């Protein structure tokens, strides 16, 4: 039997509305609305249905924001990964929630000891623009599976995807416990960070990560920070240079070059650099045949 989609219209949240939105989520958590296992399964299955029923709309939104002409790339990076996370969570959630027996301290015998996993409370998720679906939905899945209420702040820089998700999600999840908003930039995030959260999940730059961490420290709020970095790739004389070049081009230009673990620079053994550069050009031309050699540029930093 097909499940009906709620005809819910997204209610925009302004900066002034943030304290009330946060209070509503906290009150509903304290009332125990997000803790039942049945509620968690219902939300996760709702998100799964959202993808299955609106796949084309989500793909088109991402393509408008990031210019990904190849549908396969959008499906691989933004659709399949969250769906895989959902399948894994739905399959194992009941076993994850079972009490785990552990060794009892000698001083407390004959008592028995168990680890019982409880939700932390109200969670703030701040997602980035470069993986606007994947890095918004995957942490949301984890927060819901753990029984938390959630404020999901989508990036305003991927406006088409943000608008699509904030219109779709309320039709499939419990809006009393899950709030979604895409509008507002730094001012909105600053206001959100003034509120008391029980966990903050942030994906973005190191500089903004420091701001998030500093704000969280005032309330001793634990954080999960997924930040960018520098990722060298070492090429020596023992590698298959042609094969390495193909992997480098794929890894660097996947998702329009916007991946936090993409190779940033190469450390190349003397005597290999000329062959590597030639192979990189060839691999790039295979991947982007419409571009000419004169339109490509590879910078070589000589060793000091």
pLDDT tens per residue across all 304 residues of the chain: 456 666 666 678 889 999 999 999 999 999 999 999 999 999 999 999 999 999 999 999 999 998 877 788 899 999 999 999 999 999 999 999 999 999 998 888 889 999 999 999 999 999 999 999 999 999 999 999 999 999 999 999 999 999 999 999 999 999 999 999 998 888 999 999 999 999 999 999 899 999 999 999 999 999 999 988 788 999 999 999 999 999 999 888 888 778 888 898 999 999 999 999 999 989 888 877 666 555 555 444 444 4
Dihedral, 28, 30, 33, 36 alpha carbons, nearest 10: 160
Q: What is the pLDDT of residue 3?
A: 61
Catalytic residue among 73, 226, 233, 273: 226
* Cα gap 43→145, rounded to integer Å: 9
Which pLDDT score is estimated for 170? 96
**For this structure, is 260 an active site residue?**
yes
The confidence score (pLDDT) of residue 1 equals: 47
- Three-state secondary structure string covering the chain: CCCCCCCCCCCCCCHHHHHHHHHHHHHHHHCCCCCCHHHHHHHHHHHHHHHHHHHHHHHHHHHHHHCCCCHHHHHHHHHHHHHHHHHHHHHHHHHHCCCEEECCCHHHCCCCEEECCCCCCEEEEECCCCCCCHHHHHHHHHHHHCCCEEEEECCCCCHHHHHHHHHHHHHCCCCCCEEEECCCCHHHHHHHHHCCCCEEEEEECHHHHHHHHHHHHCCCCCEEEEECCCCEEEECCCCCHHHHHHHHHHHHHHHHHCCCCCCCEEEECCCCHHHHHHHHHHHHHHHCCCCCHHHCCCCCCCCC
What is the value of pTM for the model shown? 0.87
Q: What is the dihedral of CA 23, 24, 25, 27, to 10 degrees?
A: 80
159 classed as catalytic: no
Work out the angle between the directed axes of helices 37-66 and 80-96 (0-180°, nearest 10). 170
Q: What is the pLDDT of residue 7?
A: 65
Catalytic residue among 260, 273, 279, 288: 260
Q: Which of 63, 219, 225 is nearest to 135 (CA)?
A: 225
What pLDDT does 255 receive? 84
Q: What is the pLDDT of residue 177?
A: 98
């Amino acid at each position: 039997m097909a499940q009906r989609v709620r005809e819910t219209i997204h209610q925009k949240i302004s900066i002034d509305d943030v304290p009330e939105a946060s209070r509503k989520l906290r009150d509903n958590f304290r009332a125990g609305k997000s803790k039942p296992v049945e509620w968690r399964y219902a939300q996760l299955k709702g998100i799964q249905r959202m993808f299955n029923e609106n796949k084309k709309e989500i793909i088109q939104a991402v393509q408008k924001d990031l210019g990904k002409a190849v549908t396969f790339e959008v499906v691989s990076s933004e659709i399949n990964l969250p769906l895989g996370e959902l399948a894994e969570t739905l399959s194992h959630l009941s076993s994850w929630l079972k009490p785990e027996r552990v060794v009892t301290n000698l001083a407390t015998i004959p008592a028995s000891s168990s680890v019982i996993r409880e939700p932390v409370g109200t969670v703030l998720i701040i997602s980035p623009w470069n993986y606007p679906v994947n890095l918004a939905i995957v942490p949301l899945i984890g927060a819901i599976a753990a029984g938390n209420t959630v404020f999901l702040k989508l990036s305003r820089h991927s406006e088409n995807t943000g608008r699509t998700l904030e219109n779709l999600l309320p039709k499939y999840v419990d809006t009393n416990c899950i709030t979604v908003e895409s509008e507002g930039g730094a001012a909105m995030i600053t206001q959100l960070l003034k509120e008391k959260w029980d966990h903050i999940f942030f994906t973005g730059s190191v500089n903004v990560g420091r701001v998030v961490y500093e704000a969280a420290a005032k309330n001793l709020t634990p954080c999960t920070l997924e930040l960018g970095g520098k990722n060298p790739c070492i090429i020596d004389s023992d590698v298959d240079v042609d094969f390495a070049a193909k992997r480098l081009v794929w890894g660097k230009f996947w998702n329009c070059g916007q991946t936090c673990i993409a190779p940033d620079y190469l450390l190349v053994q003397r005597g290999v650099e000329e062959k590597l550069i030639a192979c990189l050009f060839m691999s790039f031309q295979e991947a982007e045949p419409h571009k000419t050699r004169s339109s490509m540029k590879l910078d070589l930093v000589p060793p000091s």
